[in-house]
Amino acid sequence: MTDQKTVQPRFKRLAADDRAAELVQAGLAVLASGGITAFTIDNICKRAGASRGLIGHHFGGKDGLLAACYAAAYAPWFQMFNAGGTPPDLPDLIYELFTDRQFRRDGLNIWLALWGEIAVNAHLQAEHLRHYQAYETAIRQSVARFAQERSRQVDAANLATALIALLDGLWLELCIAPGLMNTHKARRAVMALLEPHLGPLA
């Protein structure tokens, strides 16, 4: 008898939602390993084992997939912000923002690639604005809750803006100069900004 060899399909067959999620994860992996210049349809499809047309089918094109990757990168933050349906406790929030779990090297590479693209990509700008507004609201509500619980009078909106600006700078330093910045120093910098207005956060 002639040996019959099983021919493996070139692409895997998945449900639509599973395929879209797999493409997003492949896009994130490409960003983590090669930055924005590696974010090509060929690289993403090769990693996902998918045909090129699926990116257009699910996301309308590469920019749509990039926006979906941005949303996926933000998702863990919003899970933390929305836990319990109330503004997160400010000290817990600050601690969580600077855990080693949040600052894995691959995650930092993803954020650095996305931040660099926002200024020149209209799709990503729109996605960033949508998520930033929700992020700013969560930070502001956490500041206001903490101040109210301790009978402190503060301008929560302005303090939240200053905190976000500091967080962005600290995250950027953690991305590009990990030898000079670490999570312990970052937390101390946040405390130095907030404690004169809110009292001890430890």
Q: Which sequence spans correspond to the domains of the chain?
A: 16-198
C-alpha dihedral sign at 119, 124, 128, 130 = positive
**Amino acid at the residue 185:** K
- pTM, whole model, 2 decimals? 0.81
Residue 183 is predicted with a pLDDT of: 86
DSSP code for 8: P
Check residue 15 and give its pLDDT.
Answer: 62
pLDDT at 148: 95
Four-way CATH pick for 16-198: 3.30.70.380, 2.40.50.100, 1.10.357.10, 3.30.465.10: 1.10.357.10
Specify the pLDDT at position 142: 92
What is the rounded (10 degree) CA torsion for 76, 71, 184, 174?
150
Please say whether the beta carbons of 67 and 28 come within 8 A: no
Q: One-letter amino acid identity for 149?
A: E
pLDDT of residue 4: 44
> Do 175 and 108 touch, CB atoms closer than 8 A?
yes
Structure tokens at 56: 């257009």
CA distances from 81 to 41, 85, 97 (A): 33, 8, 11
pLDDT averaged over 10-residue windows placed end to end, the chain, 202 residues: 43 67 96 95 94 93 95 82 73 83 79 91 91 90 94 96 93 85 90 96 81
Q: If DSSP codes are grouped into helix, strand and coil, which group holds residue 39?
A: coil
Q: What are the residues whose beta carbons fall under 8 Å from the beta carbon of 171, sequence distance 6 or more?
A: 108, 111
